[in-house]
Copies of this chain bind each other. A is one copy, B any other.
Amino acid sequence: MATPNQFLKFVDDNAETFIKRLGEAVAIPSVSGDSSYRPDVFRMSTWLDGQLKSLGVTTKLVDLGKHVMDGQELPLPPAILGRIGDDPTKKTVLIYGHYDVQPAQKSDGWDTEPFTLAVDEKTGQMIGRGSTDDKGPILGWLNVLEAHKTLGLELPVNLRFCFEGMEESGSEGLDDLIKTEITKGKESWFDGVDCVCISDNYWLNTRTPCLTYGLRGLVYFKITISGPARDLHSGGFGRMVHEPMTDMVNILSKLVAPDGTILVPGVDDLVPAAQDEEIAIYEKLDYSVQDVEDAIGAPVTLSQDKVSVLMGRMRLPALSIHGIEGAFSGPGAKTVIPASVSGKFSIRIVPPQTPEAVDALVQTYIEQEFAKLHSKNTLKIENLHNGRPWAADPKHWNYEAAIRATEAVYKRSPDLTREGGSIPVTLSFAERLGVNVLLLPMGRGDDGAHSTNEKLDRSNFIEGTKLLGTYLYEVGAIKA
Contact = CB atoms under 8 A, between A and B. Distances in A.
Interface of A: 216, 218, 220, 222, 227-230, 232-243, 245-247, 249-250, 252-254, 256-260, 292, 295-302, 309, 312-313, 316-325, 327-338, 344, 346, 348, 373-377, 384-385, 419-422
Given A321-B327, A323-B327, 9 more contacts: A227-B300, A238-B348, A239-B312, A239-B317, A239-B318, A240-B313, A246-B320, A322-B337, A323-B336
Nearest to A289: B240
B238 A319 contact: yes
The 3 A-B pairs at the shortest CB distance, nearest first, are namely A235-B421, A229-B297, A238-B318
Given A249-B253, A323-B338, A338-B322, A313 B239 contact: yes
B324 A329 contact: yes
Nearest to A445: B236
13 contacts: A227-B296, A235-B422, A239-B317, A241-B292, A242-B258, A245-B322, A245-B323, A258-B374, A320-B335, A320-B337, A321-B327, A322-B334, A324-B327
A239 B302 contact: yes
Contacts of A312: 238-240
A53 to B, nearest CB: 36
B333 A420 contact: no
A300 B241 contact: yes
A253 to B, nearest CB: 4
Copy count, this protein chain: 2
A321 B243 CA distance: 8
A384 B338 CA distance: 19
B235 A296 contact: no
A337 B324 CA distance: 13
Given A241-B300, A374-B259, A329 B323 contact: yes
Contacts of A321: 243, 245-246, 249, 327
Contact of A331 (B220, B325, B338): B325
B348 A235 contact: yes
B230 A216 contact: no
Contacts of A228: 296-298, 300
B260 A420 contact: no
B298 A420 contact: no
B298 A229 contact: yes
B329 A234 contact: no
Nearest to A238: B318
A12 B258 CA distance: 69
Given A238-B420, A296-B232, A300-B227, A328 B323 contact: yes
Contacts of A376: 299-301
B344 A334 contact: yes
A234 B318 contact: yes
A230 B300 CA distance: 12
A260 B43 CA distance: 61
A444 to B, nearest CB: 14
Contacts of A260: 239
Nearest to A226: B298
Contacts of A327: 321-324, 329
Nearest to A372: B258
Contacts of A241: 292, 296, 300-302
Contacts of A229: 296-298
Interface centre among A230, A295, A322, A327 (most CB of B within 10 A): A322
Contact of A322 (B257, B316, B335, B375): B335
